[in-house]
Structures are given as C-alpha cells and as structure tokens.
Amino acid sequence: MYRLPPFTKALIIANVIAFLLQMVAGNAMLIWFALWPGEGGGLASLPLMTPWTLVTYSFLHDTHNFLHISFNMLAVWMFGGELERAWGARRAAAAYFASVVTGGIAQIIVGAMFGEGGGPVVGASAGVFGLLLAYALVFPNRRIMPLFPPIPMPARVFVLLYAVLELVFGVTGMVSGVAHFAHLGGLVGGWLVYKFWRARPGTWGR
C-alpha cells in the first residue's frame, strides 16, 4: 500500500486544515497570515511588522478556486513524496520552506522595483517550484507526464520549460493574478538547499 512519507503527509494535511479555516474565518486569515507587499517600494514593501507571513502565506489558498490548492497539493504529493524518500524529511522540509521564503522575497523585490503591491500573496506554489527543481536535480532523467502539454519528458526539461514560461508570463503580464516571480524565487530556494547539501553532506540527517 502506498504511504506518504511524514513531512509530505503533514504538509498536505496542514494546507487542507488552513484551507478549511479560511472558509470559516474568511478575510481574517488573509489579514494576519497572507504576504502583503507594500505599495511604493522601499521599506514599505517589506513585511517588517509581520515577518511570519514570509512562511504562513504558503499555507493559504484562493478559496474561490478549488483548483489552486488541488494542483499544489497534487504536486507536493507527486514530487515532494519522492524527493523525501530520497533525501529524508529534514532535507525535503528545508528545500520546501527555503523556497517559500525566497519566493516571497522575490515577489517583494519585484513589486518594489516596479511600484506594485498591496494585494495579498498566497499559495504553496513557491515551495512546490522549489521541490520541482530539487526533484529535477536528483532525478534529472525521470520521465514526467504533465497535464499540459500531455507529452512525457525528462524532469529536467519539464522544470526548465516551466521556468521559462513563468519568466515570460511574469515579464509580459500575459497571465495576471499569479505571483510568477514568487514561483521563480522558489526555484532559487530549492537550488540553494541542493547545493548546500552537496557541499556539506554530513550536515543533514534523515
């Protein structure tokens, strides 16, 4: 019987619980736990008074779009579980949360540079993108069948394709309402943990 490893299982459960709490509490969850990059750039763009939101935003999702949490948790299940079996819970957790933080920082920096902000940033996608990159680095030739396009491809090609698409969407604004640079920032977090682990393999325990 297929069993989820502990961190992957706990992460999915935590996201589902947070989603249900959002449906009950409404905007209160967004006010306190979403990431709110300030408008106008500079220090106003930084969550100096609410630093926890650099992590907690990843547990919130759009309650009006069930596909938002569904696709994110499907990706955590598919890629996070396999990565955790190879790396262990600590490494997988480090990759995920490092990606969440670097994704949030990337979104803040881009917002500050272009004078954008004010709206809440939510979703596990930055952490998911970090897991995807780590997965592609650990299993570069593993075949993946994405939902779109439904063409089997190696993991490294899949991640490269999605990274290019996110960059194009982010720069051109073709797909609005999505924190594209948080996704790209999440890739950085996954890469950093991968490189740190390779440089200091004895640092991490399973």
Residue 205 has pLDDT above 50, yes or no: no
Question: Residue 11 and residue 8: Cα distance in Å, rounded?
Answer: 5
User: What confidence score (pLDDT) does residue 172 get?
Assistant: 80
pTM: 0.89
The CATH number of whichever domain residue 91 belongs to comes to 1.20.1540.10
Give me the chain's average pLDDT, please: 87
Overall domain count for the chain: 1
Residue 79 located in a structural domain = yes
User: What confidence score (pLDDT) does residue 151 get?
Assistant: 85
Instruction: Summarize pLDDT for 49-66 with one digit per residue, the tens.
Output: 788 999 999 999 999 999
Residue 17 located in a structural domain = yes
Cα–Cα distances (Å) from 114 to 37, 169, 172, in that order, read 12, 15, 13
Token code pair at residue 82: 């396999």
Cβ neighbours of residue 134 closer than 8 Å, sequence gap 6 or more: 83, 87, 92, 95, 190, 191, 193, 194
Residue 132 located in a structural domain = yes
CB 80 within 8 A of CB 169: no
Residue 156 domain boundaries = 6-203
Residue 1 located in a structural domain = no
Token code pair at residue 9: 């299982």
Token code pair at residue 119: 């709206």
